[in-house]
Amino acid sequence: MDNLKNLRGTVDLFPDQLIKWQNVEKILLEQLSRASIKEIRTPILEMTELFIRGIGEGTDVVSKEMYTFLDRGERSCTLRPEGTASVARALIQNGISSNPLQKLWYMGPMFRYERPQAGRQRQFHQLGVEFIGHDSVRSDVEIIVLAWDILGKLGIKELNLEINTLGDTNDRSNFQKSFLKWLETNKDSLDLDSQNRISKNPLRILDTKNLQTKKVLENAPRLFNFLSEKSHNRYLDLKRQLEVLKIPYVENFNLVRGLDYYTHTAFEITSGALGSQATVCGGGRYDDLIKQMGGPNTPAIGFAIGLERLILLAGKELEIPRNTDIYIINQGLIAESLAMDLSRKLRNYDLLVELDLSGASFSKQFRKANKLKSKSIIVIGDDEAVNGEFTIRLFDQSGNGNENEEEVISFENDIKLENWINNNLLVK
């Protein structure tokens, strides 16, 4: 077993940690269903071609970070690095025109071969939301507000929304011509990484982290100045609507995002409470993707939230496990089978019921119930088995039962059992 370890950048999650994940996921699902967004599930494994065409060959994700391999049929497969391309593929394949307006969400693992650090893993999880067929500025606003409110609902502090517009294909190609000219002239002042990007993905140079290059870029042509009047007005409208809703934003003209499919609105939400991997949510409009992938002309916009980063940010109160409602202490052949039967009955009441399977002494089982801070206990031993009745009592945490709240109930008397549960466990 010496060498059997998990792969770098992947993690095991144990029950104590998963309490927080489950609580966060529960809140996320509630929020999504309240906004009438429906779930979609696509395969984790896709044809490599999907991501090359969908995300763009020159992006870091496709050129450096994908988990790609040949399967036994010599087909090139890739573990999905994100969800948008898969959703687009699934919709095209399923005949998008029969249902052109859709609001969808997905949640699950994604894979990118990045350098692992706090908040950055090779297998990580995203909640993604995609509004398909929506082209109004209002849909951009709804998407941004949805992401903002989800993070707010989880009590996440120090949030910053950054927005930008990438214009349409035409705007961008006009800008690119002039930007490329400028890059060639100023090539020597750029860092090496940015120099390498000139031929591969020049737009990405704009969000370099290199301070010297950042400074030089201040004099570069701006995409913003190449926007058509229509694109420009669209952007102004977006800002106006965000202001009406009092969603604070900062404009960041260098926000270009790491995937090639974006048009018009691009946005990111960061939190000051995270370290260097501060972006908890990223998204934007992708009006050309579905057409580019062989579907009908279908505008769309979406975002994805990184769940590991969300968990790092979510409050401590979400780490608290739900208390056991009833702990069933039992010992003896007949007693144990009666206890099993009773536990099945009790679980129909939306109660958290733990059946002790240890066969240990009563006092050990009492100690376990105490440790779990169970709200109540049932004891079933040989006497109870012979008499056909058990005692259920509230547990006062000191290890003793509370005499006032105890009741002797026959195994057959479901009405008495239900009354006791209603009066003692289900009352708020």
How many other C-beta atoms can be found within 10 angstroms of the C-beta atom of residue 193? 13
Is residue 133 close enough to count as binding ligand HAM by CB under 6 A? no
Q: What is the DSSP code string of 100-141?
A: --EEEEEEEEEE-----BTTB-SEEEEEEEEEES--SHHHHH
CA dist., res. 41 & res. 29, Å (int)? 14
Choose the stretch contacting ligand HAM; rule: CB under 6 A; options: 156-164, 302-310, 352-360, 361-369.
302-310
Q: How far is the C-alpha of 234 from the C-alpha of 229, rounded, in Å?
A: 8
Number of Cβ within a 10 Å radius of residue 236: 12
Measured from the CB of residue 66, what is the shortest distance to ligand HAM in angstroms? 12
Asked if 124 touches ligand HAM (CB under 6 A), the answer is: yes
From 33-41, 275-283, 333-341, 362-370, span contacting ligand HAM (CB under 6 A): 275-283
Of 61 and 394, the one with the shorter C-beta distance to ligand HAM is 61
Interface residue with ligand HAM among 133, 167, 202, 283 (CB under 6 A) is 283
Binding of ligand HAM by 306 (CB under 6 A): yes
Q: Taking a C-beta distance cutoff of 8 angstroms, is the pair 87, 304 a contact? A: no
Q: Are 384 and 390 in contact (CB under 8 A)?
A: yes
Q: Quick check: 112 binds ligand HAM (CB under 6 A)?
A: yes
Site string for ligand HAM, 76-95 (x = CB under 6 A): ------xxx-----------
Strand 38-39 with 102-111, pairing: parallel
Q: Does 303 bind ligand HAM (CB under 6 A)?
A: yes
Question: By CB under 6 A, is residue 309 in contact with ligand HAM?
Answer: yes
Smallest distance, ligand HAM to C-beta of residue 158, A: 15
Are 327 and 343 in contact, with CB atoms under 8 Å apart?
Answer: no
**Least distance to ligand HAM from the beta carbon of 104, Å?**
10
Bridge partners of residue 379, in order along the sequence: 329, 391
Under the rule (CB under 6 A), what is the footprint of ligand HAM?
82-84, 112, 114, 119-121, 124, 126, 128, 130, 258-259, 279-284, 286, 302-304, 306, 308-309
